[in-house]
Structure 1
Amino acid sequence: MAVALPAAAHIYKYTDANGNTAYSNQPPDGTAAQTVELPPLNSVGLQQPAAPAAPAAATPVASKATSANDGALYSTLELTDIPTQEALRANNGTFTVGVKLEPRLQRQHLLRLVLDGVPYGQPSNVPRLQLVNIDRGDHTLGVQVLAGDQVVQQSPIVPFTLQRVHKPVSHP
């Protein structure tokens, strides 16, 4: 029995024009980049349901919040690397978060952050996303799965506090 495996994707790490570390699935033009070695992806075979579904007449009506998660494409969609019990320290307001996603991201989907309820940054197929020059203080962060411009699933929103050095402005 032959199994077709997808070609390995390459991830490139480089320093952008502002001196920030950035990651991309394509090498940047005119900028030196190094290939990032990623661990092999886990895969799980399709599992059969444990019991048959109850008849429609016996199923209670779901609330709007529950129905939004019914038929979710990803059984796990959450942010990682965000401390919730203590402040996140990022002296220049720049930090990276991870996305835990199961099963792995489908080819037609992209990930986009939602910072304080507003879409943030460019959609990406890389499960490491960078935030740049974020103000200190309390924030919320989530991640969306996009199909084109449409949100197909969103992670729970995570509150966090960003701590960064405040440099007083000297007046002459």
Structure 2
Amino acid sequence: MRRWIIATCLWLIALPAPAEVYTYVDAQGNRVFTDQPGPGNAKRVTLAPGNRMSANPGGATPQTAPKKPEEKPLFHYDMLRVLVPEPDASVRSSAGELIVSVTNEPTLQRGHHYRLLLDGQPTADPGPSPVFALSNIDRGTHQLAVEILDEHGRIVERTANQPFHMLRISLAQKRQVKPCTLTDYGQRPECPLADKPEEEKIGIFSFF
């Protein structure tokens, strides 16, 4: 009997929503459910509304997480190097001055900038010029490197460290190489006026 009731309930659930259900007791005293009016003692069964829910209530559009803007891939240069000075070059400058020039292929892209590093530290803010003027570099061996940065400040290319040697000649050494003459004082940095010797005064009696 219990199996019959369960089967009947499953059958009722499987009926289409608009179908009507009738019930009656047959000659053997069994309760019968059917979608047909059946014999005269059949009664219509009022069904409670089913617990149905739309998979998308209200027709709302499913919310999706906003996509993150895709970053532009890094642009790569075929070649980037320090043109001047040459690797392992010796630079002579009493003021420690140096002109650095870099070259690259292809040409610098729009929004990209150069940044020169001296001993691993930036010498100035990034800029579009491939020529850098440095001064007051200490005597000794130093390392140069150049970077190319894109519009987002990302390093696109970087050269390896390139050594050079700064030879700062002292004023005394310059005077040894080329001694000061009377006309050089006040004209050459190594010949200041304070070091100019006094001119010998020629007296009138020196001729007698």
TM-score normalised over the length of structure 1:
0.52
**Do the aligned partners of residues 126 and 86 (structure 1) sit closer, same or farther apart at CA in structure 2, a change above 3 Å counting?**
closer
Instruction: Quote the sequence identity (%).
Output: 35
> Partners of 1:124 and 1:136 in 2: how far apart?
27
What is the letter of the counterpart of residue 161 of structure 1? H
> Partners of 1:90 and 1:124 in 2: how far apart?
26
> Partners of 1:107 and 1:155 in 2: how far apart?
20
Q: Which 10-residue stretch deviates more, 112-121 or 143-152?
A: 143-152
Residue of structure 1 equivalent to 2:153: 149
CA-based RMSD of the aligned residues comes to: 1.9
> Partners of 2:77 and 2:133 in 1: how far apart?
22
1:93 equivalent to 2:96? Answer yes
> Partners of 1:157 and 1:130 in 2: how far apart?
18
The structure carrying a bigger helix percent of its residues is 2
Gaps of 5+ in 2: 1-73, 173-208
> Partners of 2:102 and 2:87 in 1: how far apart?
16
What SS is found at the alignment partner of 2:169?
A: coil
TM-score normalised over the length of structure 2:
0.43
Give the Å deviation of 1:151.
Answer: 1.8
> Partners of 1:137 and 1:81 in 2: how far apart?
18
1:129 equivalent to 2:132? Answer yes
What is the letter of the counterpart of residue 160 of structure 1? F
Give the Å deviation of 1:108.
Answer: 0.6
Give the Å deviation of 1:90.
Answer: 2.2
Gaps of 5+ in 1: 1-70
Give the Å deviation of 1:159.
Answer: 0.8
Residue of structure 2 equivalent to 1:165: 169
Larger radius of gyration: 2
| 8 Å Cα contact 2:114-2:128 kept in structure 1 | yes
The structure carrying a bigger strand percent of its residues is 1
1:80 equivalent to 2:89? Answer no
* Aligned pairs, number: 98
> Partners of 2:99 and 2:89 in 1: how far apart?
16
What is the letter of the counterpart of residue 106 of structure 2? P
What SS is found at the alignment partner of 1:124?
A: coil
Residue of structure 2 equivalent to 1:104: 107
Runs of at least 4 residues off by over 3 Å:
83-86
